[in-house]
Structure 1
């Protein structure tokens, strides 16, 4: 039973390592280098990235976009933010992973 618990704990730590690392060493606020309200880390083929762009355009939210497959700088920042899927969105220093309309709008209104 002890070995089983150790294996389970090891799997959890490996899967959550980025989040654990970010607690002790938070990722930098890359959004401060841009005048736009949001920074979007995306790909061209991602349907949730497309939804994010459409929401930004619909609501008039200014954003700077990095295509992580084409931009070395964007990919490096994406990795430092934890990677693991697209889109990743920076708004007011907050990192949002994935598309969540209500969270995006709530973060934008905090300005």
Structure 2
């Protein structure tokens, strides 16, 4: 019986290892410096792709953070009031959703 309980506990720890690791040794939050552009996105988001393509076409340098793959990116996203993707932090201006006019205006 003890072996079964230890096996179940080990399996539970294995399945939740990412969460345990983030709890024990959290990554520092990803924060934008004064002149930086950060795109908080997910791999499956079509509007994230549009925002990425728009900034590439306009020559806007940006750093992309996937909120599903990075705990620190998720923390920064939530600290900015993230409720959907894409979420952009353009030099301190937070833009929620794909809005090319707002992105271009804030990136000037």
Normalised to the residue count of structure 2, the TM-score between the two structures is 0.68
**CA displacement at 1:30 relative to structure 2:** 2.3
Larger Rg: 2
**CA displacement at 1:92 relative to structure 2:** 1.6
Q: What residue in structure 1 maps to residue 38 of structure 2? A: 39
Q: Distance in 1 between matches of 2:100 and 2:55?
A: 10
Alpha-carbon displacement from aligned partner over 1:36-66 (angstroms, at most 9, x marks no partner): x410000011011000000111011110111
Q: Distance in 2 between matches of 1:32 and 1:46?
A: 25
Name stretches of at least 5 consecutive residues in structure 2 with no aligned partner: 1-29
- Segments ≥4 residues shifted beyond 6 Å: none
Q: What residue in structure 2 maps to residue 74 of structure 1? A: 73
Q: Distance in 1 between matches of 2:84 and 2:76?
A: 13
Q: How many residues align?
A: 79
Q: Distance in 2 between matches of 1:54 and 1:103?
A: 15
